[in-house]
Amino acid sequence: MRTFVTDFDGTLARRDFYSEVLSQLMPTGTPAFYQHYLHGEMTHFECLAAYFGSLRCTEAELLEVVHTMELEPGLPKLVGRLNAAGWEVVVASAGCAWYIDRLLAAAGVTLPVHASPGRWRGDGLGLEMMPPTESPFFSPSVGIDKAAVVRDALTRGEVAFAGDGHTDVPAALLVPPHLRFAKDDCAADLRRRRETYTPFRDWGEVAARLLQHGR
């Protein structure tokens, strides 16, 4: 069995939900939670949850931003081809299933998703992201431990991983370089560690490489 574990924001979706809401919808005067995270005063999960909970827009306005994240074009066909080639595609994200599930459903794609659950609260409470305590891959610091998702898949066979962020590095390091796809912050961190990886620009490029793998 072969498993392709993929990050979502900035990887399967071309834009990052956190970045989009921060630039388009975050109220003026919102505390700099990211700086608190960098200084070790908040976990990554707490940082994202604080930003999402600070949203004061309507649900319709937030959904407009969600649908600008731009999933990989032709995603249903690509997933079908990967499945036919023996690759199960699994999403592992430090983000929120609230928007991931909506985007995948709109694209007509059903995938296993490991992410923190969420619900729209409104009434000054924004988007509530909750810790995924019932997940076997729960991490108090990042919500979902992507490395644990990869380790679990490795017990069943070959694993590929693709990601773009700092939280993707531990998972990326568990797979061989030719199946370790990285860009942006993930790629920069791997370079600093002198680790080899396969660069990519978009998710479709990764899918194409995996479809050639083993032929």
Segment 69-100, tens digit of pLDDT: 999 889 999 999 999 999 999 999 999 999 99
pLDDT at 124 over 80: no
CATH code of residue 151: 3.40.50.1000
Instruction: Give the span between the Cα atoms of 134 and 13, in whole angstroms.
Output: 25
Q: How many Å apart are CA 180 and CA 53, to the nearest integer?
A: 33
- Residue 32: how many other CB atoms lie within 10 Å: 10
Is the pLDDT at 215 greater than 70? The verdict is: no
Q: Quick check: is 198 in a domain?
A: yes
> Is residue 37 assigned to a domain?
no
Q: What is the pLDDT of residue 73?
A: 87
DSSP 3-state of 141: coil
Domain that holds residue 153: 2-16+68-212
What mean pLDDT is predicted for residues 119-127?
87
Q: What is the pLDDT of residue 58?
A: 92
Asked if residue 214 has pLDDT above 80, the reply is no
Residues 54-61, mean pLDDT to the nearest whole number:
92
Name the domain count of the chain: 1
Mean pLDDT of 111-139: 94
- Asked, for residue 126, whether it belongs to a domain, the answer is yes
Residues written for the chain: 215
Residue 199: inside a domain, yes or no? Answer: yes
Name the average pLDDT for the chain: 95
Task: Decide if 29 is inside a domain.
Answer: no
Using an 8 Å Cβ cutoff, are 168 and 197 in contact? no
**Cβ-contact 1, 152 below 8 angstroms:** no
State yes or no: pLDDT of 17 exceeds 90. Answer: yes
Q: Please report whether residue 32 resides in a domain.
A: no
Residue 44: the pLDDT is 96
Which value, in Å, is the radius of gyration of the alpha carbons in the chain? Answer: 17
Tokens of 33: 């939670």
